[in-house]
């Protein structure tokens, strides 16, 4: 669900280079200091005198500043300007941490404002949350947590203690929920719905592609007609997926067909709908062997594969939920990404069409009586 | 009161911040399971367990700052378990670690906590 945006990839390189630069800079300072270079001795002394927590917080702010500045070329208008201000601000605070005594409070405000601004941008749809943006918020959250630990409370009243104990976890929760809401409210064009990534394809199908798609549909329909009765599918080696309260569709998977590639005679699964009068055959599912390995799409944009990602899968009861933007799942479940799959619906799938990732909601409701 | 002696406060403080971050993410993961629990009964149990676990981790972070030896032991155990699970899942072809965010959350932070906890203990030994 959260990829690395093309125009954000440079920030990853910038972050790694910045880390290497900081390590080399500190090493160089120590080298010069050992050779009694006056200014290096002074700077090293200031650096060494700072607590570890300050050093780490400064390093994280420097990292966030570097990432923001590296992202400027891909962001125009007000966002680009804010990235410049933000990046420079973080660098100033990272340096001020070693030279001043007043830096902590403004840095806390700067970090909190940056995180909240990102949430606003994401929810408003002005920025698509991707892994670089989320990783940057993680870095800022840790820096914020470190700065909050540096506070030396003079008044230990109950409200203040409660605020100190809950403010940081609350900020982490709000950040996670904010990114999540933004990502779900404004999915990019390649996400059919939360958790399904579509294969990149051309916008319009050629006449050849239209004919190939129609042939795939006809061949699939003819091939799986023999499995109208689920017992016939089981006899042929298809194993039914466990019954799920959440999903009225059941996939019968045949592992013997795992190596076949878009072969209508050997689909990886046949799909049934749980209707009031029993299981009804509604389609087939073709699947590749590995995640990220898109299959052949003879119909171009008409036969667009999709893979499910950002899913928390629990083997207890074969259940699913969505993972958080920080890639966490409930205990007892794990994040999974499925290999790409292509559904071929042999029933009329309404406006979604015969190769859609999902069964049309209206069709599903009509078939199963459930949304 | 079971103290670790003169533990390096800086290492414990930094480790506790990382642990609070982990606990916060667990809390959200637990809360996020609750809407799914309406139709997925198993996620009611998993969501509630995750929220309870997040509360326990917050408690451990608090007691790590207070230099409790039992909190240190529990956290080392939990982080090793977490890293072992991450390594195991990374070996399976299920795409559980893809990109910088899962790498930071599931690998770098637990490793950093373990290194900091080890550093805190060795400093305590030196001081004793």
Q: Are B70 and B2 in contact (CB under 8 A)?
A: yes
Residues of A in contact with B58 (CB under 8 A): 169
Sign of the torsion formed by the C-alpha atoms of A230, A231, A235 and A237: positive
Q: How far is A203 from chain B (nearest CA, A)?
A: 28
Chain B, 34-93: which have a CB under 8 Å from a chain A CB? 36, 39-43, 45-47, 49-50, 53, 58, 62, 89, 93
C-alpha A115/C-alpha A262 separation (Å) is: 45
- Would you place residue B93 in the very low, low, confident or very high pLDDT band (cuts 50, 70, 90)? confident
Q: CB contact, 8 Å: A168 with chain B?
A: yes
Is A330 close to B32, i.e. CB distance below 8 A?
A: yes
pLDDT digits (tens, 9 = 90+) for A330-340: 998 888 888 89
Asked if residues A324 and B28 have their Cβ atoms less than 8 Å apart, the reply is: yes
Chain B CB contacts of A52 below 8 Å: 10-11, 14
Question: Highest mean pLDDT: which of A74-78, A153-157, A357-361, B101-105?
Answer: B101-105
Overall size of chain A counted in residues? 371
Residue percentage of chain A with pLDDT more than 90: 58
In this structure, of A120-134, A176-190, A344-358, B63-77, the range with the lowest mean pLDDT score is: A176-190
Contacts of A134 in chain B (CB under 8 A): 101
3-class secondary-structure state, position A27: helix
Across A62-76, A356-370, B10-24, least confident range: A356-370
Is the CB of residue A241 less than 8 Å away from at least one CB of chain B? no
Residue in chain B nearest A169 by alpha carbon: B24
A178 interface with B at CB cutoff 8 Å: no
Rounded to an integer, what distance in angstroms lies between the CA atom of residue B100 and that of residue B97?
A: 9
Token pair of A162, please? 């409660």
Q: pLDDT band at A161, cuts 50/70/90? A: confident
Using the predicted structure, report yes or no on whether residue B3 has a pLDDT greater than 60: no
Phi, psi (deg, nearest 5) at residue B63: -80, -20
A164-177 burial by CB neighbour count: b if 16+ within 10 A, else e?
A: eeeebbebbbebbb
* Alpha-carbon gap: B123 to the closest alpha carbon of chain A (Å): 14
In chain A, DSSP finds a helix count (H) and a strand count (E) of 10, 11
B107 in contact with A at a CB cutoff of 8 Å?
Answer: no
Say if the Cβ atoms of A330 and B33 lie within 8 Å: yes
CA-to-CA distance for A362 and A109, rounded, in angstroms? 49
What's the Cα-to-Cα distance from B83 to each of A33, B55, B78, B103, rounded to whole Å? 39, 20, 9, 11
Strand order in the sheet with A311-314: A319-322, A311-314, A334-336
Inspect the interface and report whether the beta carbons of B50 and A173 lie closer than 8 Å: no
pLDDT value at A222 more than 80:
yes
Q: Note whether A2 contacts B99, CB cutoff 8 Å.
A: yes
Q: What per-residue confidence (pLDDT) applies to B4?
A: 40
Residues of A (42-71) whose Cβ lies below 8 Å from B: 51-53, 56
Q: Among A138-147, A204-213, A239-248, B98-107, where is mean pLDDT lowest? A: A239-248
Instruction: Find where tokens 């399904």 sit.
Output: A196
Does B63 or A368 have the greater pLDDT score?
B63
Q: Could you say which of A145, A173, A327 has the minimum Cβ distance to residue B101?
A: A327
Measured between CB atoms, does A330 come within 8 Å of chain B?
yes
CA gap B72, A267 in Å, rounded: 53
C-beta separation of A260 from A275 below 8 A:
no
Element (H, E) at A270: strand A269-275
Cβ–Cβ below 8 Å for B50 and A52: no
Average pLDDT across chain A, whole number: 89
- Of A179, A264, A191, the residue nearest A225 (C-alpha): A264
**pTM assigned to the model:** 0.83
Task: Give A17-37 pLDDT, tens digit per residue.
Answer: 998 999 999 999 999 999 999
Tell me if A319 and B40 make a contact (CB, 8 A cut-off).
yes
Rounded (5°) CA angle A163-A168-A173: 120
CB atoms within 10 A of CB A188: 14
**B19: which 2 tokens?**
């642990």
Identify which of B33, B42, B47 has the shortest CB distance to residue A316: B42
Tokens 């976890």 correspond to: A169
Contacts of residue A164, Cβ cutoff 8 Å, sequence gap at least 6: A148, A151, A153
Q: Which residues of B touch A336 (CB under 8 A)?
A: 94-96
Helices (H) and strands (E) in chain B, counts: 5, 0
């Amino acid at each position: 669900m959260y990829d690395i945006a093309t125009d954000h990839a440079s920030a990853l390189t910038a972050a790694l280079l910045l880390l290497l630069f900081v390590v080399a800079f500190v090493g160089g300072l120590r080298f010069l200091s050992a050779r009694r270079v006056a200014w290096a001795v002074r700077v090293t002394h200031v650096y060494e005198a700072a607590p570890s927590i300050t050093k780490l917080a400064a390093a994280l702010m420097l990292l966030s500043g570097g990432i923001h500045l590296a992202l400027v070329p891909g962001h125009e208008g007000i966002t680009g300007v804010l990235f410049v201000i933000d990046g420079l601000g973080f660098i100033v605070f990272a340096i001020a941490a070693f030279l001043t005594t007043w830096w902590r409070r403004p840095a806390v405000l700067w970090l909190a404002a940056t995180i909240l601004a990102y949430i606003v941008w994401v929810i408003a749809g002005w920025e698509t949350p991707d892994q670089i943006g989320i990783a940057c918020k993680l870095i800022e959250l840790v820096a914020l947590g470190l700065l909050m630990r540096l506070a030396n409370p003079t008044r230990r009243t109950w409200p203040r203690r409660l605020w100190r104990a809950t403010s940081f976890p609350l900020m982490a929760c709000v950040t996670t929920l904010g990114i999540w809401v933004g990502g779900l409210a404004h999915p990019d064009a390649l996400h059919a719905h939360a958790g399904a990534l579509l294969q990149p394809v051309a916008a319009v199908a050629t006449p050849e592609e239209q004919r190939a798609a129609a042939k795939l549909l006809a061949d699939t329909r003819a091939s799986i007609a023999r499995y109208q009765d689920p017992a016939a599918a089981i006899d042929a080696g298809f194993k039914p997926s466990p019954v799920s309260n959440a999903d009225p569709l059941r996939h019968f998977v045949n592992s013997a067909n795992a190596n076949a590639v878009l072969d209508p005679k050997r689909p990886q699964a046949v799909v049934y709908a749980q209707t009031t009068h029993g299981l009804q055959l509604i389609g087939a599912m073709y699947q590749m062997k590995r995640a990220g390995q898109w299959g052949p799409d003879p119909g171009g944009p008409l036969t667009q594969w999709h893979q499910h990602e950002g899913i928390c899968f629990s083997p207890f009861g074969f259940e699913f939920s969505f993972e958080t933007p920080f890639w966490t799942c409930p205990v007892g479940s794990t994040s999974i990404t499925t290999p790409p799959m292509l559904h071929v619906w042999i029933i009329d799938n309404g406006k979604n069409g015969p190769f859609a990732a999902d069964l049309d909601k209206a069709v599903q409701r009509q078939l199963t009586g459930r949304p | 009161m079971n103290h670790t002696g003169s533990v390096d406060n800086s290492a414990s403080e930094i480790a506790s911040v990382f642990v609070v971050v982990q606990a916060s993410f667990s809390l959200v993961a637990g809360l996020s399971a609750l809407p799914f629990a309406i139709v997925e009964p198993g996620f009611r149990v998993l969501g509630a367990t995750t929220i309870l676990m997040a509360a326990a981790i917050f408690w451990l972070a608090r007691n790590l700052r207070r230099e409790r030896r039992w909190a240190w032991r529990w956290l080392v155990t939990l982080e090793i378990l977490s890293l072992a699970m991450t390594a195991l899942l990374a070996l399976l072809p299920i795409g559980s670690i893809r990109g910088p965010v899962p790498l930071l959350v599931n690998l770098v932070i637990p490793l950093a906590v373990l290194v900091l906890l080890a550093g805190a203990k060795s400093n305590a030994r030196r001081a004793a």
